[in-house]
């Protein structure tokens, strides 16, 4: 059984090895497997990457991301410039779905609204705006169009079978109305996220 100290050391090591994060001002605390990240970074993409990295260690039950984004002076921009770049990033990433996504910005915080056909499109829209200069945070209110539960289940199971990183036999897919439940056991938080990404 991994201790909180083991998890803390692993998360700190991963943060300092990740070239996408300046973890100099990030602190890690762990209690009962829950990782709490505090301190500050200089971009929203670093905050997001720190959270993602915090989930990688074996034994992590959850992550609380209390990292503050402190933009350097050169990265601070007016909202109209941020929204223009965010819209352009979404259009480049999702040329066939972008017209269904709206971007609202207030004080550097982006809110994505609209409706897409697949969850991957929602995730790609979020990913597209993460690195826009001047962004302090992103909230996604994008909704995914409802599909028949049997069709959803079939497509997720097919995706699991195609994915070499997942043992499809260890994960059971259940659908109830608009809710998909994945049951089973995976080897790590990263594998858990990979399974969730398939639905």
123-163: pLDDT as tens digits? 999 999 999 999 999 999 999 987 777 787 888 888 777 77
Domain extent for 183: 149-197
Residue-by-residue DSSP string for 44-94: HHHHHHHHHHHT-STT--EEEE-PEE---GGG---HHHHHHHHHHHHHHH-
Residues 83, 105 contacting (CB under 8 angstroms): yes
Can you give the pLDDT at residue 199? Answer: 60
For residue 18, how many other CB atoms are within 10 A of its CB?
16
Residues 6 or more apart in contact with residue 137 via CB below 8 angstroms: 44, 47, 69, 108, 109, 110
Q: Of the residues 19, 49, 69, which one is the last residue of a structural domain?
A: 69
| 5 sits in which H/E element | helix 4-17
Q: Domain total for the chain?
A: 3
Same domain? 140 vs 79? yes
Structure tokens at 36: 């709490």
CATH number, domain containing residue 60: 3.30.1340.30
Same domain? 93 vs 134? yes
Instruction: Encode pLDDT of 24-68 as tens digits.
Output: 999 999 999 999 999 999 999 999 999 999 999 899 999 999 999
Instruction: Encode pLDDT of 61-113 as tens digits.
Output: 999 999 999 999 999 999 999 999 999 999 999 998 899 999 999 999 999 99
Same domain? 63 vs 96? no
Same domain? 57 vs 9? yes
CA dihedral 32, 16, 52, 171 (to 10 degrees): -70
- Helix, strand or coil for residue 147? coil
Same domain? 94 vs 43? no
- Helix, strand or coil for residue 134? coil
Residue 172, beta-bridge partner list:
183
Same domain? 27 vs 49? yes
**Is 184 a residue whose pLDDT tops 60?**
yes
Same domain? 90 vs 54? no
For residue 199, how many other CB atoms are within 10 A of its CB?
20
């Amino acid at each position: 059984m991994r201790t909180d100290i083991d998890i803390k050391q692993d998360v700190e090591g991963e943060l300092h090895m990740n070239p996408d994060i300046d973890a100099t001002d990030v602190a890690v605390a762990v209690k009962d497997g829950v990782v709490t990240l505090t301190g500050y970074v200089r971009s929203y993409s670093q905050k997001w990457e720190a959270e993602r990295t915090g989930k990688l260690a074996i034994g992590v039950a959850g992550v609380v991301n209390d990292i503050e984004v402190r933009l350097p002076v050169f990265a601070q921009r007016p909202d109209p410039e941020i929204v223009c770049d965010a819209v352009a990033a979404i259009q480049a990433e999702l040329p066939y779905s972008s017209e269904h996504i709206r971007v609202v910005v207030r004080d550097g915080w982006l809110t994505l609204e609209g409706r897409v056909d697949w969850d991957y499109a929602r995730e790609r829209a979020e990913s597209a705006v993460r690195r826009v200069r001047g962004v302090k945070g992103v909230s996604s209110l994008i909704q995914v169009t409802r599909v028949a539960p049997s069709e959803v289940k079939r497509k997720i199971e097919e995706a699991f079978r195609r994915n070499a990183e997942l043992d499809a036999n260890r994960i059971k897919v259940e659908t109830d109305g608009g809710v998909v439940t994945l049951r089973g056991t995976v080897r790590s938080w990263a594998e858990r996220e990979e399974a969730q990404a398939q639905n």
